[in-house]
Structures are given as C-alpha cells and as structure tokens.
C-alpha cells in the first residue's frame, strides 16, 4: 500500500501513529507530496480527486481518503485494536471527530496566514476558528478525561495529534492555560514512541 502524506499534516500523523501502534509499518510505503488548496500535487490528484492528504492507495481496490476512513480500514486490517465495540465505540468516534474539528480549525488558521494576501486576511475569522478550538479543548478537559485515560484507542490518538498540531502552528495561544488535566494527559501521551517518531520537522 502507498500512503500519500506530508510530515506536517496532523491528519497524516494520526494514520502514521495507527500504523506504528498496530505493527503495519512494513506494509505501508510513504509517498511524500507537497500540496495546498492553491497548488495540488499531480501525484496526489491522480490518487484523490479532492487533492487532500492522507490518501491510501490499495492494490485491491480504489484509493481511500479522509483520515477517518483510512483509520477504520487500517485498524480492521490490523485486528480491530483501536475502535472498541459496544457503547465505548461511540465515545471513541466522537473523540476522533472532536480532534478532527480542532485540526480543521487550526489548519484553516494556518492557511489564512500563509496563503491569503495580508490585505485580504480576516482577523475576526481567525479568532472564530480559535474559538472552536478553545471550546473543544475545554470540553475535552471537563468531559472526556476518563475516556482519554482508558485503553488506547483512535480517539486518544486523534486528540494527541490535534493538540500537538496546535502547539506546532499556534503555540503562542497557550491552550494549556486552564486545562490542567488535559495538559497532564498530553504530556504523558506525547512521550509514546509512536508520537516521538512521527513528530513533524521543526522550522
């Protein structure tokens, strides 16, 4: 299988951590692509008409895209380790969706600064995206800590990748302030080998 990726994408990082945690590294070839909404990589376009990463090219079926689709596929292939059955499954899926929402808002903030001409940027729009992140993080801190501290699942991986991306691109926003429980959880989780080995390049 071929995984189209960029090392700074939090959506890609979710998949790379899943691959490591489920022991599928030897089965996944990484194809590095440089793509933005304004300039799609031709290799990626051939695999995913939406030109988004990650995209997983399979030998026995169409290319999969959207990180949650890829995560579900690879987890099933790896023995159903990260999506629990029963009532907890819905909590895991909700946590993963919350994490993806944080990522989306943080990526949009990054694009606004990097891709839009300065005279056309909307600070109030950026702050609207940050408000989504703040609310989601506060909810994780007050509502979801028992789930985050349970057995490893895809919700935890997603949340860790989302928080790490906020640190990476928007560290000056100091999301930890007032979220002590979540900050303590993340400090421990980010020391996992799979997190350390998938950290984005700095600079």
Q: Do the Cβ atoms of 136 and 166 come closer than 8 Å? A: no
Considering the domain delimited by 87-192, tell me its CATH architecture.
Up-down Bundle (1.20)
- How confident is the model at residue 15, as a pLDDT? 98
- The span from the CA of 162 to the CA of 170, in Å, is 11
What confidence category does residue 109 fall into, taking pLDDT thresholds of 50, 70 and 90?
Answer: very high
Q: Of 107, 133, 134, 108, whose CA–CA distance to 121 is shortest? A: 108
Rounded to an integer, the average pLDDT of 46-74 is 95
| Positions of CATH 1.20.1050.10 in the chain | 87-192
Rounded to an integer, the average pLDDT of 177-196 is 98
- The span from the CA of 75 to the CA of 43, in Å, is 25
What confidence category does residue 203 fall into, taking pLDDT thresholds of 50, 70 and 90?
Answer: low
Length of the chain: 203
Q: Do the Cβ atoms of 136 and 104 come closer than 8 Å? A: no
The DSSP output letter for 120 is G
What confidence category does residue 181 fall into, taking pLDDT thresholds of 50, 70 and 90?
Answer: very high
Dihedral (C-alpha) 46, 47, 50, 55: value to the nearest 10 degrees?
-150
CATH of 2-77, one of 3.30.420.40, 3.10.20.600, 1.10.357.10, 3.40.30.10: 3.40.30.10
Helix (H, G, I), strand (E, B) or coil at 33: coil
Q: Of 75, 51, 54, 44, whose CA–CA distance to 3 is shortest? A: 54
- How confident is the model at residue 21, as a pLDDT? 98
Is pLDDT above 80 for 202?
A: no
């Amino acid at each position: 299988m071929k995984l189209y990726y960029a090392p700074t994408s939090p959506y890609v990082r979710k998949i790379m951590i899943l691959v490591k945690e489920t022991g599928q590294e030897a089965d996944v070839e990484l194809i590095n692509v440089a793509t933005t909404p304004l300039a799609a990589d031709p290799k990626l376009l051939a695999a995913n008409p939406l030109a988004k990463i990650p995209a997983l090219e399979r030998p026995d079926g169409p290319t999969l895209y959207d990180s949650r689709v890829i995560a579900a596929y690879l987890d099933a292939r790896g023995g159903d380790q990260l999506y629990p059955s029963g009532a907890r499954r819905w909590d895991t899926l909700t946590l993963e969706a919350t994490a993806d929402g944080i990522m989306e808002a943080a990526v949009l903030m990054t694009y606004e600064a990097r891709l839009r001409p300065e005279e056309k940027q909307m600070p109030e729009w950026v702050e609207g995206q940050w408000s989504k992140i703040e609310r989601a993080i506060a909810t994780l801190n007050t509502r979801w800590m028992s789930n985050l501290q349970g057995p490893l699942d895809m919700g935890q991986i997603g949340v860790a990748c989302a928080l790490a991306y906020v640190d990476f691109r928007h560290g000056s926003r100091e999301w930890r302030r007032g979220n002590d429980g979540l900050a303590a959880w993340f400090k421990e989780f980010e020391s996992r080998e799979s997190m350390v080995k998938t950290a984005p390049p700095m600079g």
